[in-house]
Each structure stands twice: as C-alpha cells, then as structure tokens.
Structure 1
C-alpha cells in the first residue's frame, strides 16, 4: 500500500548485542591514534671497587737462610785436573814463610816371605785325607802312600799307589791316584764285578790301565789345558780281564753282543762315581779306552759321554 513502511526485520538478541558492542568500541578508540614513543633507559652503574682490593698485596718475606755447614763436616774440594797435574807449590804460612808440601805416605814394603824366591817356596797345606784312606781300607783296597809330586804345574800333594782293589781285582801296572779318585775307582769296580757275573757269568779279575798320573795336556796336546792326569786325578781303563774267558778291550763292539752290553752297562755305572766319563764314540782320542776323572766343575756339573 502507498505510504506504508516496510516491515522491520528483527535480529536475534545475541547478534544485536554484539553489534552494539562493536559500535561502542569503534567510537571509543579512534583508528588513527598510535602508541606513544618510549625513551631508552641507561643501564645502572657498577658498584665502586672496595678499598681492600685497590691496594696491591705486600711482597712475601724470603725464606730464612739455613745455617752454614760446620767446617768439620765440609769435605775438602777436589782439585781440578789442571791443579792435580801441576807441581805442588809452597803455600805461605801464617808466619809468612812458605810451607813445604808433604808427599803422600809410601805404602809398606812387601813382606820378605812373599817376595822373590821365598814366595815361590811357599807351600799350601794339602787337605787331610785320613778319613778317605780309612774308607779305602774298609773297601779292601791295597795301596801305599807316595811322596808329593811337584813337576812344574803338575802336582799331587798326597798321591797313593793303588795295586789291588776289592775281592782281589788286580791293577798290574799300578795306579798313582789321589785318595778321592782311588775311592771312586774302588766303588765303581764293585759294580763292574756284579755286572760281569750277571751278563758274562765270569768273575772280574783285573783292570788294564793305560795311565793314571801323567804330566801332560788334555788329549796329549802340549798347548791344551792340563789334563786331570797331571794331578793324579784320572785313570784310563784299556781292558777288563776275567777268570775263565778272554779279556774284553774297550772299543766299539758288535751291537747285541755280550761284550757290547757289558761295556755299555759299566760305562753307564761309571757316571755315578766320576765327574767325567769318556770313551768310544766321544771323540777319536778316546776310541780305545774309558777316561774317568774327578774334575771339579761349576755347580757340580758332570760330563758323561
């Protein structure tokens, strides 16, 4: 109809309230207004340095000096090489006169008994072998004492001449030996007798010796070290004699034969009585005999070849 207003549409209550709030805000806060500019504030000043830290520390006092070394404990200064080699000069004394240097004392002279011919005549007392000779008699060994042997460096102060061992085992050539070596020989021969009865069924009657005391070098070399023969301390066994059968020479025998077994057994037993045992196979110089001696070695070492 003409002259009438169109009907008013009503918004919901919630929407109407929100629009009202927006309108009020727009009026109260103009859009063109900008925030005010801020002035920078300087940092706070540090606190003042304490007075105790402004003054430098006082220097430490030096450590105390140790007392001087007493004169009686101060060693004399050793002279330098130039001073030692220079001739001694007189030093002025407290009186003003030069002091004459005193030469070092001369060592005492050598006693007369240790000089010249007297020194060569000195004799070392040989060890007492009385107990050893008693043991030889108990073993049935026949022997006689001999005078001391002195032949250059070859010496034997108390030699014995052994002519027979236990149970009548003869030494036709005799043997010049020390008592200790004679005792080792006698004890070994008792084992040889047992082996002869066991393996050969014949009793041992004697030993053929190639030598006992001889003044010579080892292996008859004149430039070699002295042999133990040179001290009556060794014996060379060339052969064994028996009752009722042929003698057995010391040499290489056929393997497996009675003679080979006998020689091998008695040679092994000798290593328990002598410090040195050499024979066939050791070297060419011992291819025809057993060399037995009592040579002393370091730590009791024995040579059994």
Structure 2
C-alpha cells in the first residue's frame, strides 16, 4: 500500500543475544508452566522369590484310614463295679467279722476274762555251779611250757614255785629267777611270772651291751628292790592293786659291774657316763616292758626303775 513504511529489521550482535539468554534464564517460571512439570517416580517392588522345592516341603498329613486302630473297650467282667467296696474296706469288714465271732457269748463261761499263761520257769542252776561248789571252782592257769623252754635257751637260772593266792593277789605259776646269761646275778632273787622273767632276761642282755659300750666294764648283777609284793600301786592301800601283786613287775634299784663302782638308779649329772648309761638302758626297757617308770616320773619312782607287763587296751604302752 502506498504510504506504509517497510518493516525495520534489526540485527542483534552476539553480546546482545547472550544477555538476552541470561535474562530469560533468571525469570521465574509461571504457575501455568510449573504445573506442566513431571511428578516423582513410584518405587518398583522387588521380584517374588521362587517357589519352595517339593523336597523341602513338609509331608502331607496321613489320611484318616492310615491312623492306628482304636483298641476295643474293656470287657465287662474286668471292669470294676461301682457297687463293690474297695479291697481295704473288704479286709477290714472281714477282720471285724472274725473279731465278733471270737467274742464270748453273754451268759456263758466264756465271758470270764482270759488269764495269761505264765512264762516257763528257767531250768535250775547245775549243782556244780551253786553254793560252795561254785566258790571252789578254779580257772586253769595258762600253759607256760614254751615260755620256760625259752628261758632255758636264754641261759636263765630259775625254779618253779607253788601257786600264790593271798586274797586278790595271785600268781598261779610263779618262778624264782636267780641268774641271767653270762653270770648276771640277782642276789635277792625275783619271784616273777614266766613272761615277765623272759622280758627281764632279754632286757638284761641289752644292759650288758650298753655297759660294754659306754662304761667299758662288764655287767655283773641287777639290784632288785622287789618283785612279788601284795600291795596297791605306789604302796597306797586305797589304790588298785599293783602289778607286783601278780608277780608281773620288778623294781631295779641299781647295777653292779666288774672293775668299777655300782650305779644306783637316780638323777645323775647331765653328760656323765653314769647318766648316759641309765638313759640308754631305760630306753631299751621300753622295748620289752609295757610299763617303764623311773626318776622324773614322780616322787615314788625317783630311786628305781619300775618295769611291768600290765595289759592295756589296744596294746598301749607307758614309757616315762
């Protein structure tokens, strides 16, 4: 059309086109354009596991016809009746019936109380164990034949004595011992049982060996203060009988030797030959006698060795 001017075309430079792009990027997106944005992604579920193999599956339950059969009901003759009483009740009823049958009938002689039968009378004591005959009984002494044979082999001089019986002081087979082996004398003699005499003879042999070893002089004798004596212990009248009362003990007062003075039994100076000798023979006595007492035991044994063969429980020995 005449008169309209032609459109003007502007050519933008590269710098202008860059600034235009930056301005468009900075502009906020309108609400209409924001609604067109895509929504968040939904998570995909995991794949299903494979089915369990048949080999690992539990066995299927057996059918009803494969179950064990039910046992038949109990027979009627074996089923306890509700009317039957328990066994204990039946037993008690039977006992009561038996007691009633045993009761005496009233008005008869059986109603009298029963008199218990006395126990039988024990037989009478034999005549030989009654009265004077019993007092005359004597217990046979033990046979000491073998013991006397051993004494002879030990070189002991002895002779039998009549039985001793002074009340409770007794010795059925006493011996009088006068000499031991190698001429060891008992000047006073000793009245002893064979067992005690044998123990004294064996101990005297040990005393000879200690005399030669310590004193260098041979033993010639034992000085006795007593053997059989009917008395109580420690000369106490109220005490129990001593072993002397049974010819079962000996008191050694001293020792005699050839070529030197005798040694009495007493407390000696420590370290002297006499003290060593007494201690040695006292220790040896404990091997042969069940009781050994001496100086230091008590005042009653301060001047002698008391040796006896008293029996004690369990074989106990007293060596002081």
The answer as to whether partners of 1:93 and 1:99 remain within 8 angstroms in 2 is: no
How much does 1:15 deviate?
6.4
In structure 2, the CA distance between the partners of 1:66 and 1:133, relative to structure 1 (3 Å rule), is farther
Given the alignment, which residue of 150, 174, 183 partners 2:189? 174
In the alignment, structure 1 segments of 5+ residues that lack a partner are 1-10, 17-57, 72-91
Q: State the shift of 1:154 in Å.
A: 0.7
Structure 1 residue 68: Cα displacement: 4.9
For the 8 Å contact 1:143–1:160, the answer to whether it is kept is yes
1:269/1:67 CA distance change after superposition, 3 Å: farther
1:120 to 135, 156, 162: 135
CA contact (8 A) 1:205 1:242 kept: yes
Instruction: Find the residue that maps to 1:135 and give its secondary structure.
Output: helix
TM-aligned CA distance change 1:285 to 1:67, over 3 Å: farther
Task: Summarize the alignment of residues 1-305 of structure 1 with structure 2, pairs less than 5 Å apart.
Answer: 12=32, 63-65=86-88, 68=91, 93=109, 102-305=117-320
Give distance in 1, aligned partners of 2:170 and 2:260.
39
Q: Which has the larger radius of gyration?
A: 2
**Residue 42 of structure 2: aligned partner:** none
Deviations 1:157-187 (A, max 9, x none): 1111101111111001110000000000000
Distance 1:60 1:288, change over 3 A: farther
CA 1:268–1:15 in structure 2 vs 1: closer, same or farther (change >3 Å)?
A: closer
Q: Secondary structure at the match of 1:184?
A: helix
Distance, in Å, in 2 between the alignment partners of 1:290 and 1:97 is: 80
Q: CA deviation at 1:100?
A: 6.7
Cα displacement (A) at 1:238:
0.4
Do the aligned partners of residues 181 and 64 (structure 1) sit closer, same or farther apart at CA in structure 2, a change above 3 Å counting?
Answer: same
Pair 158,61 (structure 1): closer, same or farther in 2 beyond 3 Å:
same
Normalized against structure 2, the TM-score is what?
0.67
How much has 1:152 moved relative to structure 2?
0.6
**Deviation at residue 288 of structure 1 after TM alignment:** 0.3
For the Cα contact (< 8 Å) 1:217–1:225, is it kept in 2? Answer: yes
Aligned length: 234
Q: Which runs of 5+ in 2 are unaligned?
A: 1-30, 37-80, 96-107
Superposed CA RMSD: 2.8
CA distance in 2, matches of 1:264, 1:99: 81
For 2:41, the equivalent position in structure 1 comes to none
Indicate the residue corresponding to 1:44 in structure 2: none
- Shift of the 67–303 alpha-carbon distance from structure 1 to 2, 3 Å rule, reads farther
| Partner deviation per Cα, 1:69-119 (whole Å, 9 max, x = no partner) | 999xxxxxxxxxxxxxxxxxxxx755x899776443322222222222222
Aligned residues of 1:132 and 1:183 also touching (Cα < 8 A): yes
Which residue of 2 is the match for residue 20 of structure 1?
Answer: none
* Per-residue CA distance 1:184-222 (angstroms, 9 max, x = gap): 000000000000011111110001100000111000001
Give the equivalent residue in structure 1 for 2:13. none
CA shift at 1:63, angstroms? 2.9
